Structure 1
Amino acid sequence: MELSYWELKNWFTNIDYTIVGSGIVGLHAALRLRERFPAAKILVLERGMLPQGASTKNAGFACFGSLSEIMEDLKTHSEEEVVNLIEKRWKGLQLLRKRLGDEAIDFKPHGGYELFLKEDEFGFNECISKMSFINEILKPLFKADVFAKETDRFGFGNIQDYLIFNPFEAQIDTGYMMQELLKQAVSANILILNQQTVTSYADAGNHVEVVLSNFSFKSGKLFFATNGFANTLTKGAVKPARAQVLITEPIPDLDIKGTFHLDRGYYYFRNIDNRILLGGGRNLDFETETTTEFGQTKIIQNRLEDLLKNVILPNQDFQIAHRWSGIMGVGNSKSPVVSQLSENVFCGVRLGGMGVAIGSLIGTELADLI
């Protein structure tokens, strides 16, 4: 790479902090560093044209876990761990709203709902039986019951008669959120370079040598906010998880409003611009979906279309407008990894599919490791 004197001087000299990843975590880390170190030179490197992962590809759910998902987590985590995780997600959502403002992210507190298919009577009854217990352990955090049983008023098909409602859930516009974060970063004199891949790094003790595909430079500290792409970095503690999504063409007189969960959070849908956005299904084929490659598969797309036709929009015509995928970071634990890898290298990864909720908090915690 042939760089001019000006390029070297302005972009790659005397860098105090370099952040890899310009998603929710990376930009919150950068903004937090700017608050703490007003005169520091901060550089953000992004491998994609836009944040490459899930930050601009997620469904825009301001949520912290459906009832069945929380019950599933209690099978592999202690009660204290689950409550702490929900508290982090809830605090992260408040931090996101405070930093960006509800209007900027198109925050809509329509509440959230969980559906149960007709054939999942056992799962439905189990959730109803445990609902009061879950409400009790969450009451110190929310000061009210989180989950309640409600009749289906949306006309869904092939489901149990009742939905589980969560008044604390909301939806945002993912694109607006990331645009506002980018605006704030630029306003804070944070340098952002896109389509730059960090191929390696070396911690030299008093600085880090950061190697790009055809160029290297020195940085005082190096932060990785690469979530689903952090497998090697964390020695396997983070695994990629692809999420496939589709969205319909506008539907006249669409009466569905809110965020909706199905099957322990593995499926999720919402209204947006008179359309239905629907995603999920990686539980149909975990092995194939443990990938950093973007794309769709027939088994999952067919299932999503089947849910649209028979559950979400029965007896309604609809057309699919667009399909895409995002890469999340998951692992054996739902707890994020915020840690120091060496003297001058740090990471904040493994958001467990809850990046909108927890990303702002993890970015702040990452910056505060300094």
Structure 2
Amino acid sequence: MAMENATFSIWEKESYLGPRDVVIVGGGLVGLWSAWFLKQAHPALTVTLLERGLLPSGASTRNAGFACFGSPSEILADMALSGRDAALALVDMRFRGLEMMRRLLPDAVTGFEACGGYECFTSASVLDRLDALNADLREITGVYPVFSPADERLASLGLTGFDHLIANPLEGALHSGQLVRALTARVQDLGVTCLTGVTVQGWDEGPTGVRVRTDRSFSLEAGRLLLCTNGFTKELLSVDVTPARGQVLVTAPIPGLKLRGTFHFDEGFYYFRHLGDRVLLGGARNRAFAEETTAVLETSPTIQGALEAFLRDHVPQAAGVPINHRWAGIMGMGAEKRPLLKAVSDKVFCAVRLSGVGVAISPLVGSQAADLVLGKA
């Protein structure tokens, strides 16, 4: 202990490693939004954000770049599982979170594109429930209808193997890297210290604060500690959060690509979109739930093969086109989809379990997490 921090200069210790009012663990979207709202509420607050990876290690920069609040089959499945009120509360959180993001960060900064969203179907089972669903969503969005049949667009969008298409004009796409980069720059401008490549191993609570232990040759003293570790939370805390791997691929450019918009299929377990003149496709986790319940950031032959088969079956323009990019991200799931915000103690808090929709709900979760840390919740 006597040698801890010994390799750092006095300038580094005082500028980067000194005591902080708040230490945030996790440099993804929830951690960044939490830092933003903490500094907005109290500009003089000293905040350090610690990220285990060189870049955010979970899903914030490793997702598919969807700005969506729920497809019809997903919302109906959530209603069946959790009840109507709970399912609509989740939709409301996502919708308000996206509105908050677009209000605070210009679309040009995040690469947001109001391209509309769609859900593809191989049966008509959902169509007779659209009127009731649209009535529910009008209370949230102020728009009626949100969901409309659009079967006639299937051919013009270059899709095959589907019988029905439902359109949603309120959804869109964005550039996840630009979003995180812009938000990081803004919190740094507010005075937040961001340190990457630092894994938190645990903490010790004392009468006046928390000593945060890391895998580097330093620890940090903080008045309060906020965990925004999502799919990696169980490494630090025993809570209802399970890692869930989401895999993605991107094709080479396709001249004359017809596909435009964000698309879901099978209750959202498959999701695809245009990325310029390329096709981005992710999901298929339901093909191997056990295999994908992992925090290992690697792709697998099982899921990548399922994604390639989906492309062949449903996006014929992509047939035979090389796959130029493959990656995986780690989401945080649980027994319920609602985000988990709680006080672990009077000095330690967590804001985790984003359930695969972190882009949409992270601004709202970050705002609520800041209130929790500041004793306003």
TM-score interval for Structure 1 and Structure 2 normalised by the shorter chain:
over 0.9
CA contact (8 A) 1:136 1:145 kept: yes
Question: 2:149 aligns to what?
Answer: 149
Separation of aligned partners in 2, 1:137 and 1:98? 24
Separation of aligned partners in 2, 1:281 and 1:131? 25
CA contact (8 A) 1:157 1:314 kept: no
SS in 1 for 2:231: helix
SS in 1 for 2:126: helix
SS in 1 for 2:56: coil
Say whether residues 1:330 and 2:329 are aligned partners: no
SS in 1 for 2:107: coil
Match for residue 176 of structure 1 among 178, 189, 211? 178
- Residue 71 of structure 1 aligns to which amino acid in structure 2? L
- Please report how far the alpha carbon of residue 349 of structure 1 lies from its aligned counterpart in structure 2 after TM superposition: 0.5
Sort the Cα spacing of 1:233 and 1:71 in 2 relative to 1 into closer, same or farther, 3 A.
Answer: farther
Match for residue 366 of structure 2 among 349, 358, 363? 363
> Counterparts of 1:217-228 in structure 2 under 5 Å?
217-228=220-231
Separation of aligned partners in 1, 2:136 and 2:103? 26
Say whether residues 1:23 and 2:28 are aligned partners: yes
SS in 2 for 1:43: strand
- Unaligned ranges ≥5, structure 2: none
- Please report how far the alpha carbon of residue 317 of structure 1 lies from its aligned counterpart in structure 2 after TM superposition: 4.0
- Please report how far the alpha carbon of residue 298 of structure 1 lies from its aligned counterpart in structure 2 after TM superposition: 1.4
Q: Deviation digits for residues 82-105 of structure 1, max 9, x if unmatched?
A: 111111101100111111111111
- Please report how far the alpha carbon of residue 37 of structure 1 lies from its aligned counterpart in structure 2 after TM superposition: 1.4
Aligned residues: 363
Say whether residues 1:191 and 2:190 are aligned partners: no
Separation of aligned partners in 1, 2:318 and 2:15? 60
Separation of aligned partners in 2, 1:58 and 1:21? 16
Question: 1:40 aligns to what?
Answer: 45
Say whether residues 1:96 and 2:101 are aligned partners: yes
Question: 1:292 aligns to what?
Answer: 295
Separation of aligned partners in 2, 1:14 and 1:201? 14
- Residue 150 of structure 2 aligns to which amino acid in structure 1? E
Match for residue 6 of structure 1 among 11, 35, 40? 11
Question: 2:134 aligns to what?
Answer: 135
CA contact (8 A) 1:205 1:343 kept: no
Separation of aligned partners in 1, 2:207 and 2:370? 19
Q: Deviation digits for residues 28-53 of structure 1, max 9, x if unmatched?
A: 11111111111121100000000110
Sort the Cα spacing of 1:9 and 1:136 in 2 relative to 1 into closer, same or farther, 3 A.
Answer: same
- Residue 250 of structure 1 aligns to which amino acid in structure 2? P
- Residue 45 of structure 2 aligns to which amino acid in structure 1? A
SS in 1 for 2:185: helix
Question: Normalization by structure 2: what TM-score?
Answer: 0.94
- Residue 340 of structure 1 aligns to which amino acid in structure 2? A
- Please report how far the alpha carbon of residue 232 of structure 1 lies from its aligned counterpart in structure 2 after TM superposition: 4.6
Structure 1 ranges of 4+ moved more than 6 A: none
Sort the Cα spacing of 1:316 and 1:232 in 2 relative to 1 into closer, same or farther, 3 A.
Answer: closer
Question: 1:81 aligns to what?
Answer: 86
- Please report how far the alpha carbon of residue 155 of structure 1 lies from its aligned counterpart in structure 2 after TM superposition: 2.7
Q: Deviation digits for residues 277-312 of structure 1, max 9, x if unmatched?
A: 000011111111011101111111111001111212
SS in 1 for 2:165: strand
Question: Normalization by structure 1: what TM-score?
Answer: 0.95
- Residue 98 of structure 2 aligns to which amino acid in structure 1? L
CA RMSD of aligned residues (A): 1.3
SS in 1 for 2:109: coil
- Unaligned ranges ≥5, structure 1: none
Identity of aligned residues (%): 39
Query: Larger deviation: 49-58 or 146-155?
Result: 146-155
- Please report how far the alpha carbon of residue 361 of structure 1 lies from its aligned counterpart in structure 2 after TM superposition: 0.9
Say whether residues 1:345 and 2:330 are aligned partners: no
Separation of aligned partners in 1, 2:332 and 2:319? 35
- Please report how far the alpha carbon of residue 215 of structure 1 lies from its aligned counterpart in structure 2 after TM superposition: 2.3
- Residue 125 of structure 2 aligns to which amino acid in structure 1? E
SS in 2 for 1:76: helix
Match for residue 51 of structure 1 among 56, 67, 83? 56
- Please report how far the alpha carbon of residue 264 of structure 1 lies from its aligned counterpart in structure 2 after TM superposition: 0.6
Q: Deviation digits for residues 125-160 of structure 1, max 9, x if unmatched?
A: 221121111111111112221111112131312111
Say whether residues 1:202 and 2:204 are aligned partners: yes
Sort the Cα spacing of 1:315 and 1:368 in 2 relative to 1 into closer, same or farther, 3 A.
Answer: closer
Separation of aligned partners in 1, 2:318 and 2:175? 28
